[in-house]
């Protein structure tokens, strides 16, 4: 539908403008306070989305522009926000309270626990569940931002590699026909990357700990090292949401029946579980969690513009992707990963999955057959999966939970890096790790 004009560079300007607004406005003294309002973020975000739609209306016609808007909102943005929102609500009703000394070993243990559960609870669920525990544990430390940055790297992104419910790109691959448990084959890359990031964090936090005074790290009494969990009913709701994601796939038959699952059945089910969570969770649990709607509203405000404005860049990528000359696993890893850093990693994954499936079949390679009959090399699919999941951590907008964790940390009093500051962390820490992944695993 957009092929005839998708290559026009001017059509990408609204998306580029939105990225610059997210990166620059918080840094400008005169605009930083104005930008702090979610309403104003929504104004800028929706404005950039409308500019992209105006470009499509001029080049493709109002009908095509309306179709793009309807498709983007109904099939991409709404499912995206319902999944993130329901997990945010349910996980926000589970209070983890630990009586720990904020040492490097303690923080590394929390990060490791979050990484393990990220593939089961999803990166969003694990992020919401553990970020408050991490912030609360480190409330007396003066240097906390680096811990949250590594939390985004490890829990909000890399940790979700092992199952389709762990990260949105992998879930889209499952919907396209990738076997549910195929992602477990990437456990060597998962263990290597998570372990290396945890080791880097431990060394860094140990060094920074030396600059903390005894009063900032002491809790006033000998910590018990125990953890308390409140809001147990939400684990049932969390299980219901995950079951909805796995089972209620529109267009497929209900298990054991010939009835076809209708559109939005999955989203309706997730909303019901979120409503049950709000109804059955004691008020005190959310109060103890300092639960607020601000972080998820910030994600909703920014990503509505991101989803709409990125349609033209994604169309350019879909049309011209084969001309990039991407054929080797390393190329798929780095190109899909780099674009996943700035475009949402889920649709980027699908574009490169399509490109990989269009390549000639390698008779000597293990091939995976998708729902439409297309075949993709398991080696290339691994590279695309690694690039999309891992490099979604490179920027705040690479993966949905990133911005949410940033907002939650700032609400908890942590002064987080700017957009470019966070990229500085990812360039210094993640890129060398990904180079090692390329060398060791030939990606």
Tokens of 217: 């790290």
Mean pLDDT within 109-132: 88
Can you give the residue ranges of every domain in the chain?
9-441
**What per-residue confidence (pLDDT) applies to 381?**
93
Query: Whole-number mean pLDDT of the chain?
Result: 84
Specify the residue for token string 């940390």: 409
User: Quick check: 435 and 387 in contact, CB under 8 A?
Assistant: no
* Banded model confidence at residue 205, pLDDT cuts 50, 70, 90: very high
**What per-residue confidence (pLDDT) applies to 291?**
80
d(CA 38, CA 401): 17
Of 270-279, 359-368, 407-416, which gets the smallest average pLDDT?
A: 359-368
**What per-residue confidence (pLDDT) applies to 221?**
47
Of 158-167, 168-177, 358-367, which gets the smallest average pLDDT?
A: 358-367
Name, in order, each residue with C-beta under 8 angstroms of 21's C-beta and a sequence gap of 6 or more.
Answer: 44, 48
Specify the residue for token string 């840094």: 27
Of 226-230, 375-379, 416-420, which gets the smallest average pLDDT?
A: 226-230
What is the tens place of the pLDDT at every residue in 311-333?
887 777 666 666 677 888 999 99
**What per-residue confidence (pLDDT) applies to 376?**
87
Q: What is the 3-state secondary structure (H, E, C) of 408-432?
A: HHHHCCCCCCCHHHHHHHHHHHHHH
Q: What is the pTM of this model?
A: 0.78
**What per-residue confidence (pLDDT) applies to 194?**
97
Mean pLDDT within 346-358: 80
Confidence check: pLDDT of 222 > 60: no
Q: What are phi and psi of 156, to 5 degrees?
A: -80, -10
Confidence check: pLDDT of 435 > 90: yes
**What per-residue confidence (pLDDT) applies to 413?**
86
**What per-residue confidence (pLDDT) applies to 4?**
45
d(CA 251, CA 438): 38
Tokens of 102: 């904020």
d(CA 254, CA 250): 9
What is the tens place of the pLDDT at every residue in 123-145?
888 888 888 889 888 888 888 99
Of 179-188, 310-319, 400-409, which gets the smallest average pLDDT?
A: 310-319
**What per-residue confidence (pLDDT) applies to 143?**
87
Confidence check: pLDDT of 154 > 90: yes
**What per-residue confidence (pLDDT) applies to 204?**
95
């Amino acid at each position: 539908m957009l092929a005839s004009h998708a290559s026009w560079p001017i059509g990408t300007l609204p998306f580029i403008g939105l990225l610059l607004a997210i990166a620059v406005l918080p840094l400008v003294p005169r605009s930083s306070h104005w930008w702090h309002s979610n309403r104003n973020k929504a104004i800028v975000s929706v404005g950039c989305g409308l500019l992209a739609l105006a470009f499509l209306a001029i080049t493709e016609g109002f009908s095509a522009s309306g179709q793009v808007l309807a498709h983007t909102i109904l099939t991409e943005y709404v499912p995206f926000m319902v999944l993130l929102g329901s997990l945010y609500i349910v996980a926000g009703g589970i209070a983890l309270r630990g009586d720990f000394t904020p040492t490097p070993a303690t923080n590394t243990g929390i990060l490791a626990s979050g990484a393990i559960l990220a593939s089961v609870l999803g990166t969003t669920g694990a992020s919401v569940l553990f970020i408050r525990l991490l912030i609360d544990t480190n409330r007396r430390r003066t240097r906390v931002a680096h811990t949250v940055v590594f939390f985004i790297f490890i829990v909000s992104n890399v940790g979700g590699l092992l199952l389709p419910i762990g990260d949105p790109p992998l879930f889209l691959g499952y919907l396209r026909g990738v076997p549910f448990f195929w992602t477990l084959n990437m456990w060597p890359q998962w263990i290597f990357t998570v372990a290396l990031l945890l080791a880097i964090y431990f060394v860094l936090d140990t060094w920074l700990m030396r600059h903390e005074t005894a009063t900032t790290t002491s809790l006033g009494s000998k910590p018990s090292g125990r953890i308390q969990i409140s809001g147990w009913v939400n684990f049932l709701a969390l299980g219901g949401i995950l079951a909805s994601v796995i089972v209620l796939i529109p267009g497929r038959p209900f298990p054991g029946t010939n009835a076809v699952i209708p559109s939005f059945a999955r989203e309706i089910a997730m909303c019901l579980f979120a409503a049950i969570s709000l109804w059955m969770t004691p008020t005190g649990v959310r109060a103890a969690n300092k639960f607020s709607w601000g972080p998820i509203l910030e994600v909703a405000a920014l990503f509505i513009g991101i989803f709409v404005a990125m349609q033209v860049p994604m169309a350019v990528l879909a049309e011209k992707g084969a001309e990039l000359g991407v054929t080797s696993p390393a190329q798929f890893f780095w190109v899909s990963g780099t674009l996943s850093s700035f475009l949402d990693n889920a649709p980027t994954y699908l574009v490169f999955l399509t490109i990989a499936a269009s390549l000639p079949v390698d008779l000597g390679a293990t091939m995976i057959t998708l729902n439409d009959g297309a075949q993709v090399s398991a080696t290339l699919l691994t590279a695309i999966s690694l690039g999309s999941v891992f490099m979604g951590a490179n920027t705040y907008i690479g993966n949905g939970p990133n911005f949410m964790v940033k907002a939650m940390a700032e609400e908890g009093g942590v002064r987080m890096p700017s957009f470019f500051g966070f990229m500085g962390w990812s360039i210094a820490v993640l890129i060398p790790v990904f180079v090692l992944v390329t060398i060791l695993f030939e990606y």
